[in-house]
Amino acid sequence: MNTNAFTTAMARWTALQKRMAIGLGLAAVLLISGALYLWSEPAAKPYEGYTLFAPLNSTTTYLINNDGAVVHQWPSRHLPGIAVYLLDDGHLLRTAKSAPSGRRHFAAGGAGGKVEELDWDGKVRWGYTYSNERYRQHHDIERLPNGNILMIAWERKSAAAAVAAGRDPELLKDNELWPDHVIEVKPTPSGGEIVWKWHLWDHLVQDFDPTKENYGDVGVHPELVDINFVGTMTNAAGIADWTHINAIDYHPELDQILLSVHGFNEIWVIDHSTTTAEAAGHQGGRYGKGGDILYRWGNPRTYRAGGPEDQKLFGQHDAKWIAKGLPGQDHILLFNNGLNRSGKGKGYSTVVEIKPPLDAQGNYVFGKRQRYGPERSFWKYRAGSSGSFYSAYISGAQRLPNGNTLICNGYNGRFFEVTRRGKTVWSYTNPFGQTSGDDSVIKKNGVFRAERYTLDHPDIRDKELPDSTT
């Protein structure tokens, strides 16, 4: 081949490569130890670090590198219940199932009951059980800067107590309710001390029974919870697991708590600066509203400020503030599952980032039509084809220091990292968790969420991690 012909051929091949890169969103593919790397441009690379996850149907928690190799693992006697976190000292903070489903303790999805701290070698250094016939910890926890731990928990309300609070008897299919509450636990050598509490039950409103003290106009009380609201989620039939809060986060500068309320298709923000007494009322605390809801978003139908067309969230999970110093700082990021999303075609999930409507004093302000905004998301990830990215249950998302977002498709145990433009630059599918479990709607390798930790994470950087433990 002469020089001109070779040059022409190379030019055509380069042009073809460019068209392929544009059409496929990638120019090179590399598969190492089950981890898939995709590059479309020099800047579009995965964030280097270690990814932590706990398969729902395994008693082991895993830490992998970006090649997909397991570099550390923590065995336990208990299945997860269902969140895990890596602490700065290299210890693992995890929730655990305290009792098999169906044995005395309430056993809805995400049930835990126990929180434990394991050292690097897997030895239990601390434990706290919050589970009996009257209450049970579930889903998520949040470690506070002072070392205390916020926990989500159910508490039992009899049918009589629910009716006394204005619940429509027709909405008591299970003849009881298990609404949520939040406790703050101070670890002690023998377990823990509850130092703060917030109960949803203290902040109810209803327009069903005018003889009850909490009777009022639901539409003018967005700070309260309508005890008779049932949506299209699992609470539609009036089952006991009414609100099903599945995530909790804390903002240290605002001293606020963020809750993902699955049963309402909403996120709520409440004040943490209150005393327990103030949290049970409607005054006090830094924001002057006691334990009432400071902000809610995702489904304005819950407080009569919109219709089905205004609903933004559909069975969401893993709502969290983007941490200080990260791209999108102070915005809220969440996994919008898309469960029972209206419209034609296959179901689909999205990852949504919103900018809450805060004023200079840290107060949340109403937008149009006397409801909380924003009307549009700040950023959103959605796969190109409908149905190709869908997890009806669990799942999560995390903003990374390089601006990328790590996404956990919990249903099928797949984690992948995307750029701001939605290009996938890293992918991994969990191969673990084939033991029998009680989450039958989730695949055997399902994962509640995955978290990426930096290479210089305290304590990890001092460890001599192997290329693989397998």
Give the tens place of pLDDT for each residue, 350-369.
999 999 999 988 899 998 78
The Cα diameter of the chain in Å comes to 95
Beta carbons within 10 angstroms of residue 181's beta carbon:
18
Closest CA to 381 of 410, 421, 438, 413: 421
Answer with the residue of higher pLDDT: 4 or 366: 366
Q: Return the percentage of the chain with pLDDT > 90, whole number.
A: 77
Residue 370 has a pLDDT of 87
Tell whether the model's pLDDT for residue 386 goes beyond 70.
Answer: no
* 11 within a domain of the structure (yes/no): no
Residue 23 has a pLDDT of 38
Q: What is the mean pLDDT of residues 412-426?
A: 97
* 13 within a domain of the structure (yes/no): no
CATH code where residue 331 lies? 2.130.10.10
Answer with the residue of higher pLDDT: 8 or 47: 47
If one counts the domains in the chain, the total is 1
* 7 within a domain of the structure (yes/no): no
* 17 within a domain of the structure (yes/no): no
Give the tens place of pLDDT for each residue, 174-222.
999 999 999 999 999 999 999 999 999 999 999 999 999 999 999 999 9
* 8 within a domain of the structure (yes/no): no
Q: What is the mean pLDDT of residues 302-313?
A: 96
The confidence band for 395, taking pLDDT boundaries of 50, 70 and 90, is very high
The whole-model pTM stands at 0.89
Closest CA to 153 of 129, 137, 142: 137
The confidence band for 466, taking pLDDT boundaries of 50, 70 and 90, is confident
- Segments of 144-255 assigned E as strands: 149-155, 157-158, 176-177, 180-188, 191-199, 204-205, 225-226, 245-251
Contacts of 178 (CB under 8 A, 6+ apart): 106, 108, 154, 155, 156, 157, 240, 241, 242
Q: What is the mean pLDDT of residues 220-234?
A: 89
* 1 within a domain of the structure (yes/no): no
Q: What is the mean pLDDT of residues 20-40?
A: 43
Structure tokens at 199: 């109960």
* 467 within a domain of the structure (yes/no): no
* 239-264 CB burial, b ≥16 within 10 A, e <16: bbbbbbbbbbbbbeebebbbbbbbbb
The distance of Cα 409 from the centroid of its chain, to the nearest Å, equals 12
Answer with the residue of higher pLDDT: 70 or 460: 70
Domain that holds residue 294: 22-462
* 186 within a domain of the structure (yes/no): yes
Residue 343 has a pLDDT of 63
